[in-house]
Amino acid sequence: MLTLKKESDLLGNSLAPHVDLSFQVIGEVLPADHGYALYAALTHRKEELHSLQGLSIQTIAGIPDKKGKIYLSDRSRLWIRLPYDQIPMIYDLAGKSLTIGAHGIRLGIPQIYSLRPTTQLKSRIVVIKGYQEPTAFIEAVSRQLEILEIKARAVIPFSTQGEIERKTIKIKRFTVVGFTLAIFDLSEEDSIKLQIHGLGGKRRMGCGVFVPVGSNL
């Protein structure tokens, strides 16, 4: 059974307008699975991030080597989503160095983007504790959408091989299982709401963060 949180717990205090900050990432290589290490590196620099409500952090995109690493390019970015009034807390990460696993990166000056409504959103990985089978997972997603009062259609996309693909993220010694998720038929209001609140857990580690379908994020 899915443990439903109270709506106030799920929504938290993140009713303020949110924005995306996009930092250029200067470096060479990162672990492909770096969500936990990235969050640890950021909170080492900014301890206040531990308690910041409404924070989402996306993993950094790169070119996979199929051996557990990604190569960074001039298009690699760190995207952080947070309430608009918290921009000053994050902005001064510009120029700072981070150590992620055995690798170092440096952050450039961020650009600020407002969230834009769209009828279709996707998340690279959504994790809901206790739901590792596709049918039960989609049912759990539907219940979370209902709590958020979002009317939409949730789909786990097929891989290029025509199969449903499980995604994983390592957190310390544990491997957490989730799925790529696409959400369709969103109203403008629901689209912004989903981008602010996300779905599932581990949103500070790259999970449950939604971007427009077709985006390279």
Instruction: Map out the domains of the chain with their CATH numbers.
Output: 18-114 (3.30.70.1890), 116-212 (3.30.70)
Token pair recorded at residue 173: 């010694």
**Amino acid of residue 26:** I
Please give the mean pLDDT across all residues of the chain.
90
Q: Are 21 and 110 in contact (CB under 8 A)?
A: yes
Q: Are 172 and 36 in contact (CB under 8 A)?
A: yes
- Band (pLDDT 50/70/90 cuts) for residue 11 is very low
Distances (CA, A) of 60 to 5, 14, 158, 187, 196: 30, 24, 23, 28, 19
Residue range 118-139: mean pLDDT, rounded: 96
* pLDDT, tens digit, 9 for 90 and up, residues 94-126: 999 999 989 999 999 999 999 999 999 999 999
In this prediction, residue 107 carries a pLDDT of 97
* pLDDT, tens digit, 9 for 90 and up, residues 71-85: 999 999 999 999 999
- Separation of alpha carbons 209 and 186, rounded Å: 16
In this prediction, residue 15 carries a pLDDT of 54
Going by C-beta distance under 8 Å and a sequence separation of 6 or more, which residues neighbour residue 122?
157, 180, 181, 182, 183, 210, 211, 212, 213, 215
Question: 3-class SS at 145?
Answer: helix
- How large a percentage of the chain has pLDDT more than 90? 83
Give the end-to-end CA distance of the chain in Å, rounded to a whole number.
33
* pLDDT, tens digit, 9 for 90 and up, residues 24-74: 999 999 999 999 999 999 999 999 999 999 999 999 999 999 899 999 999
6: pLDDT strictly greater than 50? no
